[in-house]
């Protein structure tokens, strides 16, 4: 239907639908093969000339996801306000308990109070040009997200793929594709260990821009390109009635 209506190359339409389906499915189930647990995660890269209607295809394929993101954003402020109220009540109650003189009463009071309330997860299901620090921070609250862009060159030329950050970006994305544990330990910062985090990816870009990624020795040596489902369909330019 996308191919007929948008008149983009069929493989490009397929890539967009597969990537969107991966993002929709991956929070809910994994695949088991020979005793191995594998995430239902896809990394897609699609090449297409200017005018191939990459944006038109991607906009439709990710439409339901964007609608869901709008719903989450609409309720986020109410959830955040409720959290701030609960957090204030928690702090007041904790201070009142800590002022007790009897150690057993303090211990019992803290046990009855329970853990501090957690803030609502950020209402972000799709991002197009993140830093890996931003992705990690997002995955603390929300265990899944999507890295989707119909202008993938923005990411290749952005902060995440700069000379100083490229190895870190490729390594983190590869770990998320594998379903590996994501950890971060910094001096003067809390240690962070994240389990079961997922990220789906679809970068659409012009062939000339893609050469920077496809010919990158680091992306090859780190096995990143081997994790990518690549599509470079024949052009539809000149065969689109409108």
Query: What's the CA gap between 226 and 210, in Å, rounded?
Result: 15
Provide the phi-psi class of 51: left if phi over 0, else alpha when psi is between -120 and 50, else beta. Answer: left
Residue whose C-alpha is closest to residue 131's, from 143, 147, 115: 147
Q: Is the pLDDT of residue 187 over 60?
A: no
Q: Which residues contact 41 (CB under 8 A, 6 or more apart)?
A: 22, 26, 176, 177, 179, 198, 199, 200
86-143: pLDDT as tens digits:
999 999 999 999 888 888 889 999 999 999 999 898 899 998 888 888 888 888 888 8
Cα atoms found within 13 Å of the Cα of residue 67, Cβ hemisphere only: 8
Q: What is the pTM of this model?
A: 0.83
* Residue 157: alpha-carbon gap to chain centroid: 19
56-65: pLDDT as tens digits:
999 999 999 9
């Amino acid at each position: 239907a996308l191919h007929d209506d948008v008149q983009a190359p069929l493989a490009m339409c397929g890539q967009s639908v597969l990537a969107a389906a991966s993002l929709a499915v991956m929070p809910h189930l994994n695949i088991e093969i020979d005793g191995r647990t594998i995430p239902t995660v896809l990394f897609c890269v699609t090449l297409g000339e200017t005018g191939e209607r990459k944006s038109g295809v991607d906009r439709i394929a990710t439409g339901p996801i964007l609608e869901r993101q709008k719903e989450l954003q609409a309720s986020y402020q109410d959830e955040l306000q409720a959290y701030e109220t609960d957090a204030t009540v928690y702090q007041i109650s904790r201070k009142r308990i800590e002022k007790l003189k009897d150690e057993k009463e303090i211990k019992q009071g803290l046990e009855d109070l329970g853990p501090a309330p957690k803030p609502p997860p950020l209402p972000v299901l799709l991002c197009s040009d993140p830093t890996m620090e931003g992705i990690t921070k997002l995955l603390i609250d929300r265990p899944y997200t999507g890295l989707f862009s119909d202008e993938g060159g923005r990411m290749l030329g952005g902060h995440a793929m700069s000379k100083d950050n490229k190895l870190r970006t490729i390594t983190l994305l590869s770990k998320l594709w594998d379903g590996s544990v994501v950890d971060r330990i910094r001096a003067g910062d809390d240690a962070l260990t994240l389990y079961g985090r997922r990220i789906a990816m679809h970068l659409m870009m012009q062939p000339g821009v893609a050469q920077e990624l496809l010919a990158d020795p680091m992306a090859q040596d780190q096995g990143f390109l081997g994790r990518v489902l690549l599509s470079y369909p024949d052009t539809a330019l000149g065969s689109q009635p409108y």
